[in-house]
Structure 1
Amino acid sequence: MENHPPPAAPISIENANFEDVRRSVTYHPSIWGDYFLTHTSNIMELSANEAEEFQKLREEVRDLLIKTPDDSLHKVELIDEIQRLGVAYHFENEIDISLKSIYDTYSECNGKEDNDLHMVALRFRLIRQQGHNLSSGKWELSALETLPPYMKLCYQALLDVYDETEDEMNNLETSYRLYYAKEEMKKLVRAYFEEAKWVYNNYIPTMEEYMSVALVSGAYMMLSTTSLVGMGSLVTRETFEWVTNEPLIVRASSVICRLMDDMVGHGFEKKSTAMDCYMKQNGATKEKAFGEFHKQVNKAWKDINEEFLHPEAMPIPVLMRVLNLARVINLLYTDEDGYGNCKTKLKEFIETVLVDPIII
C-alpha cells in the first residue's frame, strides 16, 4: 500500500511557541565567542627574519624534490611526508612533474630487484591519488594510455564567444558565477520548505522522497557550487554547468554528508531522518538501518575515488573542492556529532589550527 502524505494543512506560527515552530535541536552554546575568539592574540605572526628563514627552507625542500631521482624510495617517501604535513601546496608543480614521471615509468620501476612491497604500495597510492589510473590487481601499469595534461582554461574562450572588452568580460564572469550560486541557494530554500511541510504534517516520507530532498537540504550541492566562485580563470561557465548537473562525485559527497549526519543525529534531531524513513519503510531495526547506510557511505567513497581516476572532465583542483567537503563530514561525524556538540573532538581540532598553529 503506497504511503501518501495527508493533505497539507496551512502553516501558521501565530501564537505558537517559538521552540515548537523551530522543531530544532537545542545545541550547546557556541564556543567561538567564549574561547577561540579570545585567543586570537596567540596566533603567531612571522617577523621579517622568520619569513626569510621559511622561504629559505621552502627552497631547500623544492631543491631536494627536484634533485632526488624519481625511481628512488627516498623520492616517494619525501612526497608522502610533504603531503601528510599539509605543505604540498608549496610544491604542487614539482610533485606533479615527479609523479607524472613515475607514472610513465611505472612498470620499469616496479621491475627493479631492490623494490619491496612498501615502495611498490606507496608508489601505487601516490600515483592513484594524483589521478592516474593504475591496475589495482597486479601492481603494474594498466593498459590505458597516459591521461592528457590538464586543460588550459583561460578567458580567451569566452572573449571569442562574446567579443567583450576585458572589463566587460570580468562583469560577465561575475554574473554567471553569481547566477549559478543563487540558483543552488534557491534549490536549498525549496528543500528546507519541503522538509518543514513534512514536520508540520507529521509525515515520514519514503526513502526515495526523503533522499531527493535531503541531498539538497544537506547543502553540499550548494557548497560544491559556491566553493568554485573564487577560483579564478581555472573555473569557467562549463565548470558551473558541470557541478550544478549533480555529477557522480558531487552526489557521492552529498550522500556521505546526509547519511553520516542522520546516523549520528538519530534520536536527537526533532525531525525525520534517513534512519526513520528506512526503518518505517522496511520494518527494519536501527542496527539494520545503520548497516545499510554504512554500506552506502562506503559505496559513495568508492565513487569519489573513481572520479579521480578519470579527471578528463574537470581539473583535479576542482574535484578537490568536492572531496574536501566529504572529508570535513567524515571528520565531524565519525562516531559522534562533532558539529552539533561543541564538547567533542572539534574543539581540539580548531584549537590546533587557530590557537596553537604550526606555521607551514
Structure 2
Amino acid sequence: MALQDSEVPSSILNATAGNRPTASYHPTLWGEKFLDYSSVDDSVAMDATIDQDEFEALKQKIKNMLISPTDKSFKKLSLIDAVQRLGVAYHFEREIEDELEKLSPDEYDGNDVHSVALRFRLLRQQGYPISCDIFGGFKDDRGKFKVSLINDVTGMLSLYEAAHLRIRGEDILDEALAFTTSHLESMVTQVSPQLSDEILHALNRPIRRGLPRLEAVYYIDLYSRDDSKDKAILLKFAKLDFCMLQVIHRKELSIITEWWKNLDVEINLPYARNRVVECYFWAMGVYFEPRYSFARKIFSKVIAMASILDDTYDAYGTLEELELFTNAIKRWDISNIDVLPKYMKLIYQGLLDVFGEAEEQISKEGRTYCMSYVIQAVKKVVQAYFEEAKWCSEGYFPKVEEYMQVSLVTTCYHMLATASFLGMGKIADEQAFEWISNYPKIVKASQVICRLMDDIVSHEFEQKRKHVASGIECYMKQHGVSDEEVIKVFRKEISNGWKDINEGFMKPTEVAMPLLERILNLARVMDVIYKDDDGYTNSYVIKDYIATLLEKPVPF
C-alpha cells in the first residue's frame, strides 16, 4: 500500500528517531511461509488428508457411545472427559449437554476422590452449580485433607484439576489446591515416567487454563499409550479431526498473511512488531472450530491492528502525532485521514478497512447493530493509549487505582472480547453486545489477568527505554515495597480473576455459554503466551506451540 505525503505541521514531519521512544523487536520468525498454502484447494487438501466416510462413521460410533444407557455414571463421565480433552467435543455438544443434565449434582456412584473430583469438574465446566461441600468427606477429624489421599496419584490429579474451577469464598477448594500442588510436586521423582510427565504438565498448565487445541495434541499423545478398543475409536477420530482443522487453519492463515503482506508493515511501519502469525495463533486460541472461520479471520486482523496501535502509541508516535490520531479515531471517518502524518494514514485506513469488511459480512446477517459497540470499544482503547502516552511524556507515576483504571482499557481485552462476538452469528444478539458494553465481572476479570500477567513479565524490558510506568513500578512507589512483593500481590489478583471467570459460567448465565467461552479463551491465551515471558514480543517462546498446531502432522 503506497503512502502519500500529507499536510501536517512541520514539527511532525521533521520528527526523527532520536526523539522517539523506539523499542528493538526481533523480526518475524515466519516470513511468508504460510503463503504457500494460499494456492491449495481446501477440498483437495481435505480429501488427501482424511477419508470423509471413515470420519463420519467414527463420529457416529462416538455419538452412540455417548448416548448409550449405562448404570455407571463414572464410565460416562470418563468418556465425556476424554472427548473434551481430545479436542472433539464440539462435534457432540448436544449429546454431552444431555448426558450431564441427567446427572444430579448431589448424587454420585463413587466415593473415591477421582470419581468425585471428575464429576465436580465436568459439571462446573458446563456451568452447573455443584457444591464444593462434596469434598468434605475427604477431610480428617482435624479438618485437613486425609494423608491417605496421597497414595492415589490419579485422584490427586483429579482433585487438583477440580480445584481450578473454584470461585471466591470456596475455602475447601483453596485448601485442595494447596494440598494437591504441594504433594504432586514432591511426587514427580517418585512415580513412573508417564505419571511424572502428566503431573508436570498439569502443574504447568491445568486443564482450565490450557488452550483446547494445544491440550488436545498433548492428550492425543497421552491417550495413544492405551490400546483398548473404545479408546482406539476415539483416538483415530481425534487424529483425523486434528488433520482436518490443520488444513482449515493453514488456509485461513495464508489469507491473513496475504492481507498483512499488502500492508507492507516492515517497510511502512518498521517500528511495529511483525507478529501476524502470532495474531492468528491468538485468534485460533479464542475459537478453533470450523464454523468460526470468518470470526477467526476478522479477529486476527483486529488483533494485528491493535498491536500496531499499541506500538505506535507506546514505541514511536510523538505526542503531537498521537493527539491528531486520537482525534481522528474519535471521528471515525475516512475524510479525517488527510490531517495525519503519512505513516499514520496506513494505520487509519487499515483499521477502517478491517471493520468495514466485518460490517459488510454481518450486514448480510441483519446484525449491523454490532459495529457501533465494537467501534466504541476501539475509541476507548485509543483514548486510554493517549492518556498513557501523556503520562510517559510527563514522567508521571499514577496511583495504582488510577493506573488500573486506564491500563485495564489498554489491555484491549474488553475491545477484543467485544470484537470476538462479531463472527458468532445470531447468538451474539444486541442484548449480548449491550451486556458486554457494561463491563460485566467476567470481562473485568479477563482484563485483570491480562494486565497483571503482562506487567509481571514485561516491565523490566519496557523500563529499559522511555516508557509509561508499569503497574509494578506504580505499586512499588506507592507502597514502598520490592518488586518481588508486588508480584506476589499481583499473582493473588490473577488467581482471583480466574475465580471470577469461573463464577461467570455458573448457570443461569446472562448470555449464551458460547459467548462466555470466548472470554474464557482470551484468558487462556494469556496464560499460554505470558506465563513466564512476553511470548508475543519475544515470540521464540511460543514458536513450538505455533508449529505444533500449524506445521507438524499428528502421527498416526
Class of the TM-score when normalised by the shorter of the 2 chains: 0.7 to 0.9
1:130 aligns with 2:108: no
Q: Which residue of 2 aligns with 1:264?
A: 457
Q: Is the CA contact (8 Å cut-off) linking 2:459 and 2:470 kept in structure 1?
A: yes
* Mapped partners of 2:418, 2:97: distance in 1: 26
Does the 8 Å contact 1:257/1:326 carry over to 2? yes
CA offset at residue 210 of structure 1?
Answer: 1.0
Q: How many angstroms does 1:116 deviate by?
A: 2.4
d(CA) in 2 for partners of 1:134, 1:13: 60
The answer (yes or no) to whether the contact 2:80–2:96 under 8 Å persists in 1 is: yes
For 1:291 and 1:40, locate their aligned partners in 2 and report how far apart those are by CA, in whole Å. 46
The answer to whether the 8 A contact 1:133-1:309 is kept is: yes
CA distance in 2, matches of 1:348, 1:70: 43
Matched residue, 1:27: 25
Structure 2 contact 413–447 (Cα < 8 Å) conserved: yes
Q: 1:120 aligns with which of 111, 116, 121?
A: 116
State the 1:357 CA deviation.
4.6
Deviation, structure 1 residue 260: 0.3
1:19 positional shift = 6.3
Post-superposition CA distance 1:27-82 (Å, at most 9, x none): 21112316555588999932176122111111111111111527432211111111
Match in the other structure for 2:520: 323
**Structure 2: runs of 5 or more not aligned:** 1-10, 137-361
Q: Deviations over 1:121-174 (max 9, x none)?
A: 10111001100001102259xxxxxxxxxxxxxxxxxxxxxxxxxxxx957943
Deviations 1:241-269 (A, max 9, x none): 11011000000000000110111001101
Q: Check the 8 A contact 1:259/1:293 in 2, yes or no.
A: yes
Superposition TM-score, scaled by structure 2 size: 0.53
Could you say if the C-alpha distance between residues 37 and 276 of structure 1 is closer, same or farther in structure 2, counting changes exceeding 3 Å? Answer: farther
Aligned equivalent of 2:413, options 220, 225, 237: 220
* 1:300 matched residue in structure 2: 497
Question: Are 1:275 and 1:290, in contact at CA under 8 Å, matched by a contact in 2?
Answer: yes
Higher helix share goes to which structure?
2
Gaps spanning 5+ residues in structure 1: where?
1-11, 141-168
What is the distance in 2 between the residues matched to 1:255 and 1:172?
33
The Cα RMSD (Å) is 2.6
**CA separation of 1:171 and 1:81: change in aligned 2, threshold 3 A:** closer
Measure how far apart 1:18 and its partner are: 2.6
Other-structure match for 2:304: none
* SS of residue paired to 1:246: coil
Residue 13 of structure 1 deviates from its aligned partner by 4.4
Flag the 1:194–1:318 CA change in 2: closer, same or farther, 3 A. same
Contact 2:106 2:130 in 1 (8 A): no
TM-score, structure 1 normalization:
0.81
Q: Which amino acid aligns with 1:25?
A: A
Cα distance between partner residues in 2 of 1:311 and 1:70:
28
Q: What is the aligned partner in structure 2 of residue 189 from structure 1?
A: 382
CA distance in 2, matches of 1:62, 1:222: 37
Q: Distance in 1 between matches of 2:70 and 2:436?
A: 38
Using the alignment, how far apart are the partners of 1:238 and 1:294 within structure 2? Answer: 33
1:248 is the counterpart of 2:441: yes
TM-superposition CA deviations, 1:160-206 (whole Å, max 9, x none):
xxxxxxxxx95794321011111001101101111111111111211
State how far apart, in whole Å, the 2-side matches of 1:261 and 1:250 are.
16
Q: Alignment partner of 2:46: what SS?
A: coil
Which range moved further: 114-123 or 205-214? 114-123
Q: Is the 8 A contact 1:128 1:134 kept in 2?
A: yes
In the alignment, what sits opposite 2:15?
Answer: 16
8 Å contact from structure 1 (residues 36, 355) kept in 2? no
CA separation in 2, counterparts of 1:41 and 1:349? 25
> Match of 2:373?
180
Whether contact under 8 Å (2:476, 2:483) holds in the other structure is: yes
- In structure 2, the partner of 1:332 is 529
Aligned pairs for 1:85-100 (under 5 A) are 85-100=86-101
Q: Whole-Å Cα distance in 1 between the matches of residues 80 and 18 of structure 2?
A: 52
